[in-house]
């Protein structure tokens, strides 16, 4: 993108082969390495990045394992087509409508649910007393069989009693909220950060260790500003980008 050659750093806690695997992923994302085409040969990559051919091979092996590349002896190593989903974030964004046109199948799977006392932070966000009961939902967003998000969502237990059953049945938060008389709601605030995926993310999102997740912490409110939902969502950075559209 910027066109600046970015080199490789040594003895920094991240192995060279993983840094080069990341570089190749970047190259694919930026169009530097075309999809369905052959990557430069291993010796060329080794020279480009200033490392040994075997180090490049380790990086390629990891990406083959992740399903990003396919190596064929005598022919070359090929980039498999796998576009990043562009996930829109706006005041009225909904999971399924946002991905329309990019995927054919999408839904939210309820992994688990529980009732617990509200921490200070969640109580503040939902405008209830600290320690009041809240329902926590652990969910995974899926599109075309691939995990694209992993979220933890809290609702006021008094107002939304039984919402976990609605979620399990409908696979949609928007539809579930309609059962509680909420036909429309807005995204009030979203705070965004990024970190390395933890063990839970790795398992739920089918990622390789070392992967990066985008993290959003959001509060949804009714049209008159009443908070109804507090959520932390994790998105695999290698498969998803967040699109902050204006005017929504």
Partner DNA sequence: TATAATTGTCTATATCAATAGACAAATTTT
Partner DNA sequence: AAAATTTGTCTATTGATATAGACAATTATA
Binding region for DNA (CB under 7 A): 11-13, 15-18, 38-39, 41-43, 50-52, 54-55, 57-58, 60, 71-77
Question: Angle CA(101)–CA(186)–CA(213) in degrees, nearest 5?
Answer: 60
Residue 27 touching its own copies (CB under 8 A): no
Among its own copies, DNA, none, the one that 188 touches (CB under a kind-dependent 5 to 8 A) is: its own copies
Site string for its own copies, 194-223 (x = CB under 8 A): xxx-xxxxx-----xxx-xxx--x------
Burial class of residue 189, CB neighbours in 10 A (0-12, 13-18, 19+): exposed
Residues 183 and 170: their CA atoms lie apart, in Å, by: 15
Which one-letter DSSP state was computed for residue 80? P
Site string for its own copies, 97-136 (x = CB under 8 A): ----------------------------------------
**Comparison of 17 and 87: residue with beta carbon closer to DNA:** 17
Residues 132 and 182: their CA atoms lie apart, in Å, by: 22
Question: Angle CA(168)–CA(174)–CA(179) in degrees, nearest 5?
Answer: 75
Residue in 223, 228, 221, 202 with CA at minimum distance from that of residue 213: 202
- Residues contributing to the site for its own copies (CB under 8 A): 1-2, 4, 6-9, 12-15, 17-19, 21-22, 26, 62, 84, 86, 89, 91, 138, 152, 186-196, 198-202, 208-210, 212-214, 217, 232, 237, 241-247
């Amino acid at each position: 993108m910027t066109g600046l050659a970015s080199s490789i750093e040594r003895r920094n806690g991240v192995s060279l082969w993983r840094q080069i695997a990341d570089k190749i992923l970047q190259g694919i994302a930026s169009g530097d390495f075309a999809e369905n085409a052959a990557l430069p040969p291993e010796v060329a990559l080794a020279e480009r990045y200033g490392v040994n051919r075997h180090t490049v091979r380790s990086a390629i092996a990891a990406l083959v394992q992740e399903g990003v590349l396919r190596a064929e002896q005598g022919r070359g190593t090929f980039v498999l087509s796998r576009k990043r989903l562009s996930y829109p974030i706006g005041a009225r964004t909904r999971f399924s409508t946002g991905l329309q046109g990019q995927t054919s199948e999408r839904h939210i799977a309820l992994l688990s649910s529980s009732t617990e006392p509200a921490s200070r932070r969640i109580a503040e966000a939902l405008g209830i007393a600290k320690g009041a009961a809240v329902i926590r939902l652990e969910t995974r967003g899926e599109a075309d069989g691939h995990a694209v998000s992993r979220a933890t969502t809290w609702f006021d237990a008094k107002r939304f009693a039984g919402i976990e059953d609605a979620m399990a049945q409908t696979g949609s938060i928007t539809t579930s909220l309609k059962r509680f008389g909420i036909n429309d709601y807005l995204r009030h605030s979203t705070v965004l950060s990024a970190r390395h995926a933890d063990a839970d993310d790795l398992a739920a999102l089918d990622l390789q260790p070392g992967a990066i997740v985008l993290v959003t912490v959001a509060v949804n409110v009714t049209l008159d500003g009443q908070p109804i939902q507090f959520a932390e969502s994790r998105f695999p950075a290698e498969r998803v980008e967040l699109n902050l559209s204006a005017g929504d």
